[in-house]
Amino acid sequence: MSYLILVRHGQSVWNLEKKFTGWVDVDLTENGKLEAKKAGQLIKKEQIKIDFYYSSFQIRAKNTLKIIQGELKDFKEVNNAWELNERHYGALTGLNKDEMKKRLGEEKVHQFRRSWDLRPEPLDKKNPYHPLNIETYKKIPSKKIPDTESLKDTYERVIKFYSKEIKNKKSENILISAHGNSIRALCKHLFNLNDNEISKLEIPTGNPLLIEFENSKISNCKYLDQERAKDLLVF
């Protein structure tokens, strides 16, 4: 038996401000830090020894994991992977979601946020929010840095990394701190969700999703904070 724990970072500054964040490297709010602390406490109660930790390159995921490790008093080295980054929202980056609903309509904004293969317009490479202009991503080869992404694009990079680096650690317990869309991509793969089902999947901030494996197959899964749990569409 082994476990995979998926944690979306705690509330970020731009979550609070209802902005499309994507690859912009914003930190946690005070509430987000509290969410991460509670996530660590909930994981600790499960008494699961974590063998490997993974995080995206983004500070909100890194700091969430740092707080969790503090609660667990386990400071193993973290494997940081840009492939686990949030979806790049292209030209929507930095815009307020409510304002865009008024401008484009709720249906169009919902399509941009939840559709499988629809990409927003590319973000201008000269824009300060473009990853090419953010110090965090200077070590990533420029040809790998996107101007915009659909959920399908995000899925392809996340699952390629997962299949190569994580999937074969069959008897190990793994914790991944990542983002709404990178975790949705993992859930689509793990639970074999179709393109319509994945559009309905919501991932709450700072609430660990515990997935149990037996003989390399999922035998159970649950959110550790049941008061903030979302419908998994499975189990």
Structure-token match 């494996």, residue found: 213
Dihedral angle at the C-alpha atoms of 74, 79, 83, 88, nearest 10 degrees?
50
Task: State residue 199's pLDDT score.
Answer: 81
CA 99 – CA 102 distance, rounded (Å): 5
Task: Choose among 121, 129, 179: nearest CA to 155.
Answer: 179
| DSSP state letter for 4 | E
Task: State residue 235's pLDDT score.
Answer: 47
Q: What angle do CA 149, 66, 218 make, to 5 degrees?
A: 65
- List Cβ neighbours of 113 (8 Å cut-off, separation of 6 or more): 97
Average pLDDT value over all residues in the chain: 93
The arithmetic mean of pLDDT across residues 81-107, rounded, is: 92
Task: State residue 39's pLDDT score.
Answer: 98
Model confidence pLDDT, tens digit, residues 37-90: 999 999 999 999 999 999 999 999 999 999 999 999 999 999 999 999 999 999
**Sheet strands (E) in the chain:** 2-8, 52-55, 78-80, 174-178, 209-214, 217-223
- Would you place residue 105 in the very low, low, confident or very high pLDDT band (cuts 50, 70, 90)? confident
Q: Is residue 233 scored above 70 in pLDDT?
A: no
Model confidence pLDDT, tens digit, residues 163-181: 999 998 878 999 999 999 9
Q: Is residue 115 scored above 50 in pLDDT?
A: yes
CA 97 – CA 92 distance, rounded (Å): 9
Indicate the pTM of the whole model: 0.94
Domains and CATH numbers, the chain: 2-88+150-228 (3.40.50.1240)
Model confidence pLDDT, tens digit, residues 195-219: 888 888 889 999 999 999 998 899 9
- Would you place residue 107 in the very low, low, confident or very high pLDDT band (cuts 50, 70, 90)? confident
The neighbour count for residue 125, using CB atoms within 10 Å, is 12
For residue 84, what are the CA distances in angstroms to 31, 32, 64?
Answer: 23, 19, 14
Task: State residue 27's pLDDT score.
Answer: 98
Candidate from 71-75, 190-194, 228-232 with smallest mean pLDDT: 228-232
Task: State residue 234's pLDDT score.
Answer: 53
Task: State residue 29's pLDDT score.
Answer: 98
For residue 168, what are the CA distances in angstroms to 97, 157, 182?
Answer: 39, 17, 19
Catalytic residues: 9, 86
Dihedral angle at the C-alpha atoms of 43, 151, 139, 64, nearest 10 degrees?
-20
